[in-house]
């Protein structure tokens, strides 16, 4: 079913630390400076802006005007420099060697020194944390901790970006993720996780709203949606930019397709 996705349609989803590797507090976490006045806000305190820029890149905007670009790369960037950029390692379409120098926080989803990346950062009214997963190398071997699922907590919402996920999630992964309200899902079915296994991930996380990304045209998307419809209703947005709020989350899990690829 087509939806206009006016601000009211998905309007009205809130939440938001860098620290040593202790067990992170799961969503909801710290919300910083709730009463601080913000100059750039076109959003209410309970709203979050989400725009599908393309491939695996979304622009997330908080009520206090913090801009975050997910899987920021040299080829896919939002039209304005974000305050925070997250990246993943699997391919160059998910990271940048030359991020815009105006970006205050560049968060790599892998640790160049080895081992899992660990991020738990609060920027104004958003908390950003990471959960490490593995990737396949070009030769097919397992490269441990090459991907991170980034979780963004703001305005009582927990938004998770699966990055370049290559395997299903263990109970430990799910415990670290905590409650997820909005899930950004790679749906290519090959470069990342095979569609059957991705359905297992979606059912395990059980987010209220799931938004596909990382597809290469209608045929790839439709292959995913044909499987997804066996488990979830599917709707289409007329616009790549939507406004989220916790109050307007679907009552049961749903997939929303934004224009682009």
User: How is residue 193 written in tokens?
Assistant: 């996780």
List the 254-257 sheet strands across, edge first. Answer: 2-3, 234-237, 254-257, 209-213, 182-186, 157-161, 142-154, 126-136, 120-123
Instruction: Quote the CA–CA distance of 11 and 258 in Å, as a whole number.
Output: 15
- Residue-wise pLDDT for 81-128, tens only, equals 999 999 987 677 776 888 999 999 999 998 988 889 999 999 999 999
* pLDDT exceeds 80 at position 13: no
Quick check: 154 and 125 in contact, CB under 8 A? yes
For residue 4, the model assigns a pLDDT of 35
Distance between CA 153 and CA 84 in Å, rounded?
A: 14
């Amino acid at each position: 079913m087509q939806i206009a996705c006016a601000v009211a349609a998905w309007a009205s989803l809130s939440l938001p630390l860098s620290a040593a590797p202790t067990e992170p507090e799961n969503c909801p976490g710290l919300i910083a400076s709730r009463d601080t006045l913000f100059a750039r806000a076109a959003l209410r305190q309970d709203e979050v802006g989400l725009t599908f820029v393309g491939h695996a890149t979304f622009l997330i905007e908080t009520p206090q005007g913090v801009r975050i670009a997910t899987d920021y790369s040299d080829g896919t960037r939002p039209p304005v420099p974000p305050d925070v950029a997250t990246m993943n390692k699997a391919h160059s379409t998910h990271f940048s060697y030359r991020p815009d120098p105006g970006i205050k926080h560049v968060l790599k989803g892998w640790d160049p020194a080895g081992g899992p990346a660990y991020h738990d950062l609060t920027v104004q009214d958003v908390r950003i944390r990471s959960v490490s997963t593995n990737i396949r190398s070009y030769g097919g071997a397992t490269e441990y901790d090459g991907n991170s699922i980034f979780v963004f907590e703001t305005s009582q919402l927990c938004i998770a970006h699966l990055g370049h996920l290559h395997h299903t999630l263990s109970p430990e992964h799910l415990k670290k993720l905590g409650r997820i309200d909005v899930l950004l899902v790679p749906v290519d079915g090959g470069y990342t996780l095979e569609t059957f296994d991705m359905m297992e991930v979606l059912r395990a996380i059980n987010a209220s709203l799931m938004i596909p990304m990382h597809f290469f045209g209608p045929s790839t998307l439709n292959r995913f949606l044909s499987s997804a419809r066996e488990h979830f209703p599917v709707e289409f947005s007329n616009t790549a930019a939507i406004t989220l709020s916790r109050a307007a989350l679907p009552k049961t899990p749903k997939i929303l397709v934004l224009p682009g690829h």
